[in-house]
């Protein structure tokens, strides 16, 4: 993997994730460290099949990670991506920008969702798709959103792409060299979660579950939720509600 990420920028495409996945299936997988970025996407997707907002002036891009036998679980690359987005956003918005992380991979700005991350397994590769609200954020009925423009000058796409891909290279190296537990510690240190903080989890399997934050599983980053009866429930997918500082 090159120390300096190679970035190819398209004026428009359906989905950068789909473009890279197609190349992999054709036996033409990009090298690790190469990124595909689009100024516009007509078919961008988020977690759980959600449509990803195609806002002009925002970042929408994907990179490829080659799965190695000794790597942590591939799904935990979502923590790598979230940390990289946080690093890049802080570089452009400043140390006091109100940035924080939220499980499973949300980057928040003043309590609003700043980015979306989608991982897709294709053969021996993981396609890492990232969208970041730079110029504007969508208006959604079920959650607050935010854009870096709210914190000052909007970073241009090329500059932000360089920051984000460089940060991802660094965080990916840490994930491999130091292990998932260290990456999770760094995620928690920058997150809104504190031991015992109250959470409500929507895991797509019935009514929301309420409990208190009990940490993350070191094996894969799953959420541990302590229930009212003292037992713990491990949740590997879902959306959570928590007030910052709760």
CA distance 157 to 153: 12
Pick the CATH number of 6-189 from 3.40.50.300, 3.10.20.30, 3.30.930.10, 3.40.50.920: 3.30.930.10
Phi, psi of 178 (to 5 degrees): -110, -15
Q: 200 Cβ partners below 8 Å, 6+ apart? A: 208, 209, 210, 240, 241, 242
Asked if 6-189 and 198-241 have one fold, the answer is no
pLDDT digits 0-9 by tens, 123-155: 999 999 999 999 999 888 778 999 999 888 888
Percent of the chain with pLDDT strictly greater than 70: 89
| pTM, to two decimals | 0.91
Which CATH fold topology does 198-241 show? Answer: SH3 type barrels. (2.30.30)
Segments making up each domain of the chain, as ranges: 6-189, 198-241
Tell me the pLDDT band of 45, cut-offs 50, 70 and 90: low
- How far apart CA 219 and CA 216 sit, in angstroms, is 9
* Chain mean position to CA 4: 21
Structure tokens at 50: 């959600």
Say if residues 35 and 62 touch (Cβ distance below 8 Å).
yes
* Token duo for residue 114: 């700043």
Using DSSP's 3-state secondary structure scheme, residue 90 falls into helix
> pLDDT tens digits for 157-174?
999 999 999 999 999 999
How many Cα atoms sit within 13 Å of 101 on the Cβ side? 25
Rounded Cα gap, residues 150 and 3, in angstroms? 32
């Amino acid at each position: 993997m090159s120390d300096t990420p190679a970035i190819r920028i398209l004026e428009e495409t359906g989905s950068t994730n789909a473009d890279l996945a197609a190349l992999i299936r054709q036996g033409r997988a990009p090298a690790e460290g190469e990124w595909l970025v689009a100024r516009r996407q007509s078919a961008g997707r988020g977690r759980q099949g959600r449509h990803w907002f195609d806002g002009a002036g925002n970042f929408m891009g994907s990179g490829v990670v080659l799965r190695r036998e000794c790597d942590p679980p591939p799904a935990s690359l979502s923590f790598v991506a979230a940390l990289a987005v946080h690093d890049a956003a802080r570089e452009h918005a400043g140390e006091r920008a109100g940035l924080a992380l939220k499980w499973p991979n949300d980057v928040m700005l003043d309590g609003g969702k700043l980015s979306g991350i989608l991982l897709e397994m294709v053969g021996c590769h993981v396609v890492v798709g990232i969208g970041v609200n730079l110029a504007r954020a969508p208006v959604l009925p079920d959650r607050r959103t935010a854009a870096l423009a709210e914190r000052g000058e909007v970073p241009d796409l090329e500059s932000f792409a360089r920051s984000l891909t460089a940060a991802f290279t660094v965080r990916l190296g840490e994930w491999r060299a130091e292990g998932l537990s260290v990456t999770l510690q760094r995620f928690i240190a920058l997150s809104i979660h504190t031991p015992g903080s109250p959470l409500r989890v929507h895991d797509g399997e019935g009514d929301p579950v309420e409990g208190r934050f009990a940490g993350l599983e070191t094996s894969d980053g799953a959420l541990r939720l302590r229930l009212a009866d003292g037992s713990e429930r491990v949740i590997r997918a879902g959306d959570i509600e928590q007030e910052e500082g709760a």
